[in-house]
Chains A and B, each alone.
Chain A
Amino acid sequence: MRQLLHDMNPSVKFVAVTLAMLTLAFFFDPWTPALFWIGIILMQVFWSRINWKLWFVLMLPFTLGAFGYLWTALVFGANDGSEAILTFAGISVTEEQWQRALSLSFRVMAFSTLSLLFALTTDPVKFVMSLMQQLKLSPKLAYGVMVSYQFLPVLKDEFFQIQQAQRLRGVPVEESWWRRLLNLRHLLLPMLAGAVRKAERAAFAMEARGFTGKAPTEFYRPIMLTKTDFLLATFFLCVLVASCTGGILLTD
């Protein structure tokens, strides 16, 4: 049970999540995003084994963002001309504005949680492979992304190594922080130039391994599409429809 979301086919999960987000964008009442938010949190609680500590850390900036939305929508909200329900430091807020501000903030929270649901339960490599196998993403592109993705830790190490190597060659370490910041371009350029060469070589390696740009018909580890995936997707949409209806009912 706790493994369900992790095992779900990444493409199906991706489509479900995207659909949910697009749908939510049409609702401006606070209840719909709030209900949906609770729904997906519950799904994560029961069907995944994500690291909740990490989850909270990652949610923190989004929560801040949601707060920013709340007060921007309050202060700069379009005025509908109705009566203010609240006045604070010379800013008056109407019922309508308050509702919308709340809605936008809940939307940020729901979107972020949904994203984390996807990100924390999906293996990136499987995701790309699934995009290629199920959604017919161009294999050239799929493998291109795969290859680039695995350079990520390498680039990180390299950043440090270039820095050390430049010191070794006698590139002076600047004292003031803004000069250091300015000198970052001496690091960024070798990094980018290094990336260009890595790209070229990786492409050579792929070609040398017989990659012609056609999708293989045989996979060492095929990404499967099972009944569970469709059940999960259906459940996902049910939660979505339920929160939309709930939202509409509760607003009236």
Chain B
Amino acid sequence: MLKSWKLKEIVLMSLFGVVFGIVYLLAIHLGNIWAGVIGPIAYEWMFGIWFIVSIISMQIIRKPGAAVLPETLAAIIEVMLGNAIGPRLILSGVIQGLGAEAAFAVTGYKHFNLAIMMLAGAGAAVFSFVYGYFLSGYAALDPSFVALMFTLRVLSGMIIAGIGGKYLADALLATGSLRGYAISRAKKGDAGA
């Protein structure tokens, strides 16, 4: 998969993984404090934060793997930083990334407009929820409560990750530092679509 990637794309993706690894970790801490008070539902509305790097990096690099890899890396970085939920988190990173990746894959990595970004955010939310359902044992919770969690998470994925990710990538493009990446080449192509 990485054969067709330029080294600079890989390093960029990793560095985004690092930057967002930190952001994610901060978010976990924030969430943990909440969670102590109101339980795991505290995370749901802010879950989109944890999908954002997939969406930004895919928009910039536009190659298969550009969503799942940085998400995985961000998770690895969280683990490397020492105070995360641990190696298990890496697996959840992979799964969230796959969710976002799936949205791009079904459209053949051809379109990168807002709708696709939101779809990717939702994809990540669905995948991560299914995984959480097993690992955190949501089966033990009341179905209507589970449904509420699910809805919140999908909405958060679409809004925070989808819209937020698109906004950040566009702003970054405007700074002129993304020369030599697919997003610059396609600038006229489908930005408005």
Q: Do chains A and B touch in the complex (CB under 8 A)?
A: yes
Also in contact, A76 and B145, with CB within 8 A (given A68-B37, A115-B85, A144-B10): yes
Cβ contacts under 8 Å, B81 to chain A: 119
Residues facing B in A189-217 (CB within 8 A) are 189-193, 195-200, 202-204, 206-207, 211, 213
| Max chain B C-beta neighbours (<10 A), residue from A21, A77, A148, A203 | A148
Chain B proximity mask over A114-144: 1 for CB below 8 Å, otherwise 0: 1110111000100100000000001011001
Cβ contacts under 8 Å, B35 to chain A: 64-65, 68-69
Q: Is the C-beta of B108 less than 8 angstroms from some C-beta in chain A? A: no
Cβ contacts under 8 Å, A112 to chain B: 85-86
Q: Is the C-beta of B38 less than 8 angstroms from some C-beta in chain A? A: yes
Q: Are the CB atoms of B19 and A155 closer together than 8 Å?
A: yes
Q: Are the CB atoms of B19 and A124 closer together than 8 Å?
A: no
Q: Are the CB atoms of A107 and B79 closer together than 8 Å?
A: no
Q: Are the CB atoms of B137 and A100 closer together than 8 Å?
A: yes
Also in contact, A145 and B82, with CB within 8 A (given A28-B140, A72-B141, A100-B140): no
Report how far A197 CA is from B140 CA in the complex, Å: 48
Chain B proximity mask over A4-38: 1 for CB below 8 Å, otherwise 0: 00000000001001100110010010000000000
Q: Is the C-beta of B8 less than 8 angstroms from some C-beta in chain A? A: yes
Q: Are the CB atoms of A145 and B172 closer together than 8 Å?
A: no
Q: Are the CB atoms of B14 and A145 closer together than 8 Å?
A: yes
A115 contact from B86, B141, B177, Cβ within 8 A: B86
B137 (CB) vs chain A CBs: closest residue: A104
Q: Are the CB atoms of B36 and A193 closer together than 8 Å?
A: no
Q: Are the CB atoms of A202 and B11 closer together than 8 Å?
A: yes
Q: Is the C-beta of B192 less than 8 angstroms from some C-beta in chain A? A: no
- The smallest C-beta distance from B187 to any residue of chain A, in angstroms, reads 16
Residues facing A in B80-108 (CB within 8 A) are 80-91
Chain A proximity mask over B1-26: 1 for CB below 8 Å, otherwise 0: 01001111011111111110010000
Cβ contacts under 8 Å, A97 to chain B: 140
- The smallest C-beta distance from A113 to any residue of chain B, in angstroms, reads 9
Q: Are the CB atoms of A119 and B82 closer together than 8 Å?
A: yes
Q: Is the C-beta of A147 less than 8 angstroms from some C-beta in chain B? A: yes
Q: Are the CB atoms of A213 and B7 closer together than 8 Å?
A: yes
Report how far A100 CA is from B140 CA in the complex, Å: 7
Chain B proximity mask over A98-118: 1 for CB below 8 Å, otherwise 0: 001101100100011011101
Cβ contacts under 8 Å, A195 to chain B: 12, 15-16, 19
| Stretch from B69-77, B121-129, B153-161 contacting the other chain | B69-77
Cβ contacts under 8 Å, B135 to chain A: 25
Chain B: number of interface residues, binned into ranges: 35 or more
Cβ contacts under 8 Å, A144 to chain B: 7, 10-11, 13-14
Report how far A165 CA is from B10 CA in the complex, Å: 30
Report how far A215 CA is from B86 CA in the complex, Å: 27
| Max chain A C-beta neighbours (<10 A), residue from B69, B82, B145 | B82
B10 contact from A65, A71, A141, Cβ within 8 A: A141
Report how far A115 CA is from B85 CA in the complex, Å: 6
Cβ contacts under 8 Å, A199 to chain B: 8, 11-12, 14-15
Q: Are the CB atoms of B86 and A77 closer together than 8 Å?
A: no
Q: Are the CB atoms of B14 and A107 closer together than 8 Å?
A: no
Q: Are the CB atoms of A107 and B137 closer together than 8 Å?
A: yes
Q: Are the CB atoms of B15 and A151 closer together than 8 Å?
A: yes
B141 (CB) vs chain A CBs: closest residue: A76
B88 contact from A111, A200, A204, Cβ within 8 A: A111
Cβ contacts under 8 Å, B2 to chain A: 138, 140-141, 213
A111 contact from B7, B85, B143, B168, Cβ within 8 A: B85
Cβ contacts under 8 Å, A67 to chain B: 36
Cβ contacts under 8 Å, A127 to chain B: 80
- The smallest C-beta distance from B126 to any residue of chain A, in angstroms, reads 19
In the A-B complex, list the 3 residue pairs whose CB atoms are closest, starting with the nearest. A115-B86, A72-B39, A64-B36
Q: List 11 A-B contacts (CB under 8 A).
A: A61-B29, A78-B143, A100-B140, A101-B140, A115-B79, A116-B82, A144-B7, A144-B11, A155-B22, A195-B12, A203-B11
Known contacts A124-B80, A147-B15, then 8 further A-B pairs from the complex at CB < 8 Å, ordered by chain A residue:
A17-B87, A28-B137, A61-B33, A64-B36, A65-B32, A114-B86, A148-B17, A203-B12
